[in-house]
A and B are shown apart, each in its own frame.
Chain A
Amino acid sequence: ELKVEQNPLFLSMQEGKNYTIYCNYSTTSDRLYWYRQDPGKSLESLFVLLSNGAVKQEGRLMASLDTKARLSTLHITAAVHDLSATYFCAVVRFTGNQFYFGTGTSLTVIP
């Protein structure tokens, strides 16, 4: 079974600081997603990464994918309070449609 490990589980950071969330997965996959969830809300898609070396950026968030290392990172630059949420990575295999999720990272940005 495909395993996805995400760390850290909890992250408390000050505004203006940088930090990285890591997502490791156990077997080769077709694509990797990053989602954000605010309390009581739907999971919102942030990025989809398709190939080795892919890098995508949106505002203060940047995601990258290293398929050889089976590792994706979500880098937060100069955090602001609005980024407080739970972030999930999810991997999809070449065969099948189910998503395999990490445990999520609960991010709190402190003013």
Chain B
Amino acid sequence: EAGVTQFPSHSVIEKGQTVTLRCDPISGHDNLYWYRRVMGKEIKFLLHFVKESKQDESGMPNNRFLAERTGGTYSTLKVQPAELEDSGVYFCASSPGTGGHNEQFFGPGTRLTVL
């Protein structure tokens, strides 16, 4: 069974540009999460989808970040315009079911560098 995949693995952009990160969860997983790790800090929650609906977006830093999950399958996270402080590793995770605390399965992350 394929795990959570993320694309691209690395992205280097200039301040002010736009970047879109993609996450493909494990097939059949209703829950999809985005997290971010800024250099040297903890991995922080950004938001949680249940199918195509945003269940919790309390961790989104500001309105430059837009997450979508059309059709309840893959998800994209767009940063527009990117700022220097957006640099970090963006992780996606998925879990099955619609209730309870299921284990989250993580992707390898996308390393974003904003110059």
Binding site for B on A (CB under 8 A): 4, 6, 9, 30-31, 33, 35, 40-43, 45, 48, 88, 90, 92, 96-104
Contact = CB atoms under 8 A, between A and B. Distances in A.
A102 B37 CA distance: 11
B56 A97 contact: yes
Which secondary structure dominates chain A's binding surface?
Answer: strand
Given A96-B56, A101-B43, A101-B44, A48 B107 contact: no
Contacts, number: 57
A42 B103 contact: no
A104 B38 CA distance: 12
A42 B106 contact: yes
Contact of A42 (B4, B42, B44, B95): B4
A43 B101 contact: no
Interface string B35-47: 1000011111100
Residue of A35, A43, A100, A102 ringed by the most chain B CB atoms within 10 A: A43
Given A48-B103, A97-B56, A97-B95, 16 more contacts: A6-B42, A31-B101, A33-B103, A42-B3, A42-B105, A42-B106, A42-B107, A45-B103, A97-B55, A98-B45, A98-B48, A98-B56, A99-B33, A99-B43, A100-B45, A103-B40
Given A40-B9, A98-B33, A88 B56 contact: no
A99 to B, nearest CB: 6
